[in-house]
Chains A and B, each alone.
Chain A
Amino acid sequence: MSIINIRIILLAIVFQCFTYSYVSAQNNIRIPRSSLKVTNEGLLEAMQNVADGDKWVRKGKGAIPKAIESYKKAYDYNNNCAELNMKIALCYLRSDQKHKAIDYLKASYNKDSTIHKDGLLLLGKAYQYNLEFDKAVEKYTEFYKMLKLREQKKYAEQVFKSIQECKTGIDMVKKPNRAVFINLGDSINSSFDDYNSLVIHNDSMMYFTSRRPSGKRPRPDKLLNMYDEDIYVAYKKNTDWQKAKFLEDDNFNTKRNDAIVWVSTDGNTRYLFDGYRHNGDILVSNFKKGKWSNPKKLGRKFNTDFSETSISVTKDGNTIYFVSNDQDESFGGKDIYFARKNKKGRWDSPANIGAVLNSKYNEEAVSLSPDGKTMYFSSCGHNGMGGYDVFRSEMDAIGNWMKPENVGYPINTPDDDLFYRPTEIPKIAYYSARRNDTHGGFDIYKVIYLGEEKKMILSTEDQLIAYFDKPIAEIFARKAMPLNIETPKVENEFYLRGMITDVKRKTAVVAKIELIDIERSQVIATTITSETGRYDLKIPEMKNYGIEVRAKDYMFYMDIVNIPAKPASKEMWKSVALTKIEVGSKIVLKNIYFESGKAKLTPASSTELDKLVTFLQDNNEIKVEISGHTDNVGSAALNTKLSGLRAQAVVDYLFVHSIPREQLVSKGYGSLQPISPNTTSKGRQLNRRVEFKILSKE
């Protein structure tokens, strides 16, 4: 085997976890002319396109996009050819867009299920890549059940592993990491594989490996049709990575394959991968006295005849972790090994790190956290969801590495996820993957872990205090008591006398009469009429008084009695005709006052209104109409409106004072119902009134 072939295989292994050989599968498919033919026209051209596609496939992985392009031309001629659909599907499974294989696999299988014996297995894999785990499991199971017993043994491990990966995938997708992935963009990534970022100096400088064309080897290799690895370096300016540059140093970027695999925290030691020595060795170079030393083999203890492909060194430089496929000690495939410096400063012999971290499948891309307490690595084993997944293991108090945990979706996918590099900045890491927004092949991504999911916070503006909505003030909450003016005493007795009668029947009514000192708002004398309806009240002082008359089944009566200062006789008559409480009865509510031209009651109205409240509470079986009336001055429409509003204001007052609204009706009549001619000011005054009328009595 040539040196070139060894190198290619070694490097390819890193990026190929799934053991299925799409290459051999592809090469075995022939398209008979009869199968491709639809019409004669275009057939030859289509066959040529298929031949071109086959040619590109043979050129290797790097030529797969061109193979797809050629096959697609033939597909335009006949999209129902089972073999052609299978060829396209297999190309996609080797590409960056693996999920696109699904439709072609389905078309191929539906047309002819015998085209590829592993058709269902491949369809399962395509579904798995597309995160359609349930469908993938279904296809894997279907595939396995169709196998003969002998073949089942051959495929069992692969199928069961794939099913387990799907189950892991289902769990992982349900609990995704809160992280954002930032493709580092054109400055870092190219349309070729870019990977293994090594960030130092507080996230300001980065080395990485790229398979983009370089000046030193401008042509791709002949087997995989891919360019050699080269080392690139980039610097960050402010928050942005500047355009990565080819590391111009013949000691590091030679004419052959050159990859950087680790850099010490201080940036003064570089570790390189040399695929040309002993199946792959690690080299080391130190920066001393202003220049880099020639890379030298790390040492025989580390570099065996097997392949050593990645390495991570603790900050103090005393422990090395590396990956080797040393067949003698391996648990299977590539494993992680470690070695420590002894007291003499020499390296002890490396040892396999053990079965806790190493699985029977490949481990790769080992990387320590800056504090050396956490190890990240990629593995095809453990509880992965497909391809290489990134795992994390913590070191316990006595220095043992604990059971690794899958770092979860969406960092890990069913495809290969590698070179996870934590940084000195918490919650920030870099890694390499083929995500949907790749520039081509592997791209380098910055991973930013977010904290707990932040629920949006809604803001509320309280308005819990009614006052601040509509201020109320009761400046005259407590009415000041009028002062008693010392009037001359009544030298001779003076009486207020009168008859209380029914207004309709003219018969005597037994009633209670109260004499009220208006200035003090106090009842100063009370009497009951005789059977004849007569009453006598002794007047203590010669001034004005209020009089209130109440009788059972009659509407209340209030008025002011003007006692003359110098009466002509010893008595004054005040007879009252009471209105019976019956439907249709009405009275004018005296002493109801409004602000001029408005429907706002003044405080002076409260005495009369409170009497009305008491009356309605005592006679809660009646329903009343409160009507407003005006004189005939001004617009009839405005008068009607104002009278209605005033009547409503009275109703509102009564309601607020606990009279049920059902007991009340308001109406404005304007000037339609005068009780006096509007020709005099006194007549107009009388017409401006509020009336109270009984509508019903239950």
Chain B
Amino acid sequence: MKKLTALIFFALFSLSGYTQTTAEPISDATYESKNRVKKLYNDALQSIKAVNYSKAQTYLNQVISADSGFAIGYLERGKVLLQLDKKELALADFNKCLQLNNKEGEAYYEKGYISFLQNKYDDALLDFNAAITNNYTEPIAYYHRGVVKMVKEDYSGANLDFTNAIDKRSNFAYAYHDRASSKLKMKDYAGAQADYEKAIQLQPKFVLAYNNLGVVKLEQADYKAAIASFTKATELNPDFYLAFNNRGQAYYFSGDKQSAINDFTKALSIRPDYLSALNNLGAAQLDEKDAKSALANFNKAIELNSQFGTAYVNRGSLKESSGDLKGAYTDWQSAAKLGNKQATDYLNEYK
């Protein structure tokens, strides 16, 4: 019976994370032992504060060695291990923490973050949900859950999470940026523009925000504004091939095919295996009656990635216009097998 009481006491003590008080008398030895663990833990926090994670890990190892039921010890050590890029060990600590205290919201968050890093978005979403349910309501938790929802194409859900993150941290540029992106996906162009602009106001060198603001303008067929925004992005980062490709599109749709060709070519000079630019360059070249170069670029895109449906569609269209219907049909069939609806429509024309 005495043994059972001792076990219960130990469990309560451990689960409490030293935050509960007990009416049981504490012996001097227990008192000292308890204080020693606390001190080690506090020393670990100081080391974390001083960005000395190795030292922090040493303290936390000692904490856990002294008290294996100390839930937040595992939590903090997991965070330190994660900082040291030891994800698997960190995950084990977060799981241990939750095993000891399944209400520890922060452990769910960290666990979710590891799943997120490993592209396990369903698992990440479950853990982020659990984190927030268990009162871990830091802006970053909402932000990461929003990102996962974006990846899963739940744009309205993502939008709400980014809004929560912003409510909790009014200068959270990333949250503004990504909320803008969720609005862009939902075709709320005015809202997207406002949020991208806010992100830029908070981070004036936010290259991606300039790029995506350009995308908003591209969607609105405001090619002049789109070109200006993409240009700003390329000025801030001259190696940002994505912005060159996007500006090329803005030029293309505004009818300036030669400038488009220049930009697609520039994007490819930065990243020669950039499929979108290869395809787009081919498209612009075909419009400029340079079918030979266009075909070479479509071929190269397909050679680099045989799953690139758009290049098949365009190559098929090129072949069709030259009278090679069999070739066109074969390419469209390839694209249709990859799920390209446009290719299916084209094939139907010849049924």
Contacts and interface: CB of A to CB of B under 8 A. Distances in A.
B279 A459 contact: yes
A563 B349 CA distance: 87
B202 interface: yes
Contacts of A637: none
B12 interface: no
Given A426-B350, A483-B18, A486-B31, A475 B323 contact: no
B229 to A, nearest CB: 14
Interface stretch (B95-103, B172-180, B220-228): B172-180
Interface stretch (B2-10, B35-43, B122-130): B35-43
Interface string B301-329: 00000001011011001001111011000
Contacts of A182: 323
B178 A466 contact: yes
Contact of B342 (A457, A478, A480, A656): A457
B49 interface: yes
A465 B317 contact: no
Contact of A475 (B41, B83, B350): B83
Given A182-B323, A478-B106, A485 B203 contact: no
A661 B202 CA distance: 10
Contacts of B265: none
Interface string A463-488: 11111010011111111101111100
B236 to A, nearest CB: 12
The secondary structure that dominates the B interface is helix
A239 B72 contact: no
A475 B141 CA distance: 10
A460 B350 contact: no
B279 to A, nearest CB: 5
A450 interface: yes
Contacts of B212: 463-464
A175 interface: no
Given A450-B321, A464-B181, A480 B349 contact: no
A448 B326 CA distance: 11
A454 interface: yes
A604 B150 contact: no
A603 interface: yes
B323 A448 contact: yes
B254 to A, nearest CB: 13
B276 interface: yes
Interface string B142-167: 01100100110000000000000000
The secondary structure that dominates the A interface is loop
B320 A460 contact: no
Given A426-B350, A456-B286, A461-B242, A467 B42 contact: no
Nearest to B72: A480
B113 A473 contact: yes
- Count class of interface residues, chain A: 35 or more
B136 interface: yes
B346 interface: yes
A427 B350 contact: yes
Contacts of B350: 426-427, 451
A475 B79 contact: yes
B188 interface: no
B74 interface: no
B193 to A, nearest CB: 14
B59 to A, nearest CB: 12
B249 to A, nearest CB: 5
B178 A458 contact: no
A476 B77 CA distance: 11
Contact of B276 (A459, A593, A658): A459
Contact of A464 (B144, B178, B280, B342): B178
B83 to A, nearest CB: 5
Contacts of B34: 486
Contact of A466 (B174, B245, B311): B174
Nearest to B174: A466
Contacts of A595: 51
Given A180-B322, A464-B212, A466-B177, 16 more contacts: A180-B321, A451-B350, A454-B317, A454-B346, A456-B287, A458-B276, A459-B276, A464-B150, A467-B178, A472-B140, A475-B79, A475-B110, A475-B113, A480-B76, A484-B38, A602-B51
A-B CB proximity, top 3 nearest: A456-B283, A451-B349, A464-B181
Interface of A: 180, 182, 239, 426-427, 448, 450-452, 454, 456-461, 463-467, 469, 472-480, 482-486, 519, 593, 595, 602-604, 656-658, 661
17 contacts: A180-B323, A427-B325, A454-B346, A457-B314, A459-B275, A459-B279, A464-B184, A466-B178, A473-B113, A473-B140, A475-B79, A478-B136, A480-B75, A482-B42, A486-B34, A486-B35, A604-B51
